[in-house]
């Protein structure tokens, strides 16, 4: 929540969003209107989860984040409050690169194509955004990438992350790292088939280097192992974290 005189701006976030000074595309949100609130009033900036632009949206998508956040927006406006509803495509998700490989197109082409279809799918259910951002579009790509780099560097400078060495497989011919959707193999915990960094059978999350019998989804055979590193957020207050987990009702062996 951030204060704004004379009223209050309330950020309603879903899943993986962080709002901070310098947030990309904030010039599109007409932030000035947040400064024109009635005394004691509230303005809501409502951000829905970003869909991955690698296919059409289905009813599961709609009934989850998008319908829910649309209802919140409408309810705020019906109460006479300021509500701005935004989202955008997750163009940097590895499954966009996979779809591009399958369609023999560039990730940018795939992102543009399915982002437009996502908007049409949403509008078919009368769900409209005040701003919907495609981070791979020509008007946003550089700004988005620079902001992401700034955020990562800021975390490093403030000593909020731990940098750990990783061994990652790489395909010189395919020019891709076996990370995200490109990585398949067996879970190191239950030995069932798994992909990326999480097992759907037992729920275990693991590092790429710990996956058993790993191989490339694209069939790359010229794999070499390289030394790299990964950033992990530091837990600043473990006791507070465990307390919150207890409050959320997770099993004791979580």
128: helix, strand or coil:
coil
pLDDT band at 123 (very low <50, low <70, confident <90, very high): very high
CA separation for the pair 20, 17 (Å, rounded): 10
Would the pTM count as exceeding 0.85?
no
Phi, psi of 222 (to 5 degrees): -95, 40
Average pLDDT over all residues of the chain = 83
**Lowest-pLDDT choice from 26-30, 83-87, 162-166:** 26-30
List the one residue out of 46, 41, 33 whose CA is nearest residue 8: 41
pLDDT digits (tens, 9 = 90+) for 168-213: 999 999 899 999 999 999 999 999 999 888 899 998 999 888 999 9
Instruction: Give the bridge partners for 224, in sequence order.
Output: 170
The arrangement of strands across the sheet holding 82-88 comes to: 2-3, 8-12, 42-47, 82-88, 131-133
Domain with CATH 2.170.220.10 in the chain: 161-234
Q: Which of 8-12, 19-23, 100-104, 229-233: highest mean pLDDT?
A: 100-104
Task: Output the pLDDT for position 112.
Answer: 95
Residue 43 is encoded by which pair of tokens? 């303005």
CATH of 2-150, picked from 3.40.50.620, 3.40.50.300, 2.40.160.20, 3.40.50.720, is: 3.40.50.620
How many Å separate Cα 173 from the centre of its chain?
Answer: 29
Residue 18 is encoded by which pair of tokens? 């962080």
Q: With pLDDT > 90 as the criterion, what percentage of the chain qualifies?
A: 52
Q: Are 11 and 47 in contact (CB under 8 A)?
A: yes
Domain with CATH 3.40.50.620 in the chain: 2-150
CA separation for the pair 168, 223 (Å, rounded): 10
Task: Output the pLDDT for position 10.
Answer: 52
Residue 34 has pLDDT above 50, yes or no: no
- End-to-end Cα distance, the chain: 30
Would you identify the CATH topology of the domain 161-234?
A: 2.170.220
């Amino acid at each position: 929540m951030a204060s704004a005189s004379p009223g209050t701006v309330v950020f309603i976030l879903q899943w993986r969003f962080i709002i901070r000074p310098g947030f990309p595309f904030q010039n599109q949100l007409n932030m000035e209107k947040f400064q024109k609130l009635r005394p004691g009033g509230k303005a809501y900036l409502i951000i829905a989860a970003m869909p991955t632009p690698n296919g059409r949206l289905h009813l599961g998508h709609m009934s989850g984040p998008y319908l829910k956040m649309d209802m919140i927006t409408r309810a705020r406006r019906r109460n006479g409050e300021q509500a701005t509803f935004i989202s955008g495509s997750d163009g940097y998700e590895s499954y966009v690169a996979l779809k591009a490989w399958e369609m023999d197109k560039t990730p940018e082409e795939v992102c543009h194509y399915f982002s437009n279809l996502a908007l049409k799918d949403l509008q078919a259910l009368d769900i409209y955004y005040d701003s919907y951002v495609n981070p791979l579009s020509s008007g946003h790509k550089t700004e988005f990438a620079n902001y992401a780099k700034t955020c990562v560097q800021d975390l490093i400078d403030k000593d909020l992350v731990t940098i750990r060495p990783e061994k990652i497989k790489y395909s010189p011919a395919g020019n891709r790292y076996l990370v995200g959707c490109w990585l398949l193999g067996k879970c190191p915990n239950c030995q069932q088939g798994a992909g990326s960094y999480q097992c759907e059978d037992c729920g275990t999350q693991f590092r790429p280097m710990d996956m058993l019998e790993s191989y490339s989804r694209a069939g790359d055979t010229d794999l070499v192992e390289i030394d790299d590193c990964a950033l992990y957020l530091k837990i600043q207050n473990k006791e507070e974290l465990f307390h919150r987990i207890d409050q959320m009702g997770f099993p004791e062996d979580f």
